[in-house]
Structure 1
């Protein structure tokens, strides 16, 4: 069983045999989990989030007014 050292920036090198067995590639993502005093690293694929829908002019106006109202309310609490 290979032993790895933690580097100064909290980095670890995955041993080549483990890297190859899991078919990992540079740039892949791993989820690091602390469980029962062990570190478990699980390969993960990140999916792109759907772009936020555009707001209509009316919705933008409502949002702007709501933000202004929130700011006014916050100012009354901080005064």
Structure 2
């Protein structure tokens, strides 16, 4: 009988593995969505995302999307002058 070696993954390793898996799935989903749009004769695709969503921004930029507009907001506090 052969001896099995058991190794536990650290939380960091597990998170990195899971993030890579999620990223690969997200890349596939973006590409699949683009294919559907292309089949309908649409030449460009735009999307909106929250400005502080760095993970989504990296995903879309790596898929070839570029920023064409930006919107900024400031929450007003206190009383009017």
The TM-score with structure 1 as length reference comes to 0.33
Higher relative contact order (CA 8 A, sep 6+): 2
| Structure in which a larger fraction of residues adopt helix | 2
Q: Between Structure 1 and Structure 2, whose CA radius of gyration is higher? A: 1
